[in-house]
Amino acid sequence: TRVTVRGLQGAAQHNGKSGEVHESNDATGRYTVQLDDGEVLRIKPENLLQSCSAELTGMERKPELNGREGRVTGWDASGGRYHVSLDGQVVSLKPDNLILPPGARATVIGLVSQPRWNGSTCKVVSFDRERRRYTVQMKDESTHLALKLEASASDSSQAHPYRLPDSMGLLWDARRRPCLEVRAQRGALSSR
């Protein structure tokens, strides 16, 4: 799995570097990542941005971009937007302008209707375009949740009052509150 290092304090010189996840150590909760320059680091999941493809959606100003595929390359916490590479250019997109692929791993956050799932790991199973909802499979593999994609206009224009996503995307519950962040999870990233 391709990742970018971010948010390191003690080894900040590695922030922004890319590499491949080679293994996960459950005992330490860290991934072994080989950087493109050959250096090998053991990094916590919250310090990795998983690079994944995502479909653009809900683009009102540039509707010709809807349905196009881009690659998540970064996160701007201050603006609450992802940096997505699209045809050699990098665009800045709100989390609700991306549809994540099946198999993406996630953490449920801020879910009001079933708060017991908050903090739990899940996997994106599918996306229902008509209902604009993801179906996600929880870690126990027997529970599936339907989570809404879109945010209200007021939510999307400001930084979200919840923990910001570390990598791929942010989903919303029926009350327009963030309920899912997709990020590197201990044991969820696999090597190719």
Q: How confident is the model at residue 145 (pLDDT cuts 50, 70, 90)?
A: confident
Nearest to 45 by CA among 68, 72, 24, 60: 24
DSSP string, 55-69: EE---SS-GGGTT-E
* Neighbouring C-beta atoms of residue 69, cutoff 10 Å: 12
CB atoms closer than 10 angstroms to residue 97 = 26
Which residue, among 19, 42, 13, 10, has the nearest Cα to 29 in the 3D structure?
42
pLDDT tens digits, 50-106: 788 889 998 999 999 999 999 988 777 677 788 899 999 999 988 788 888 887 766
Rounded Cα distance, 39 and 103, in Å: 28
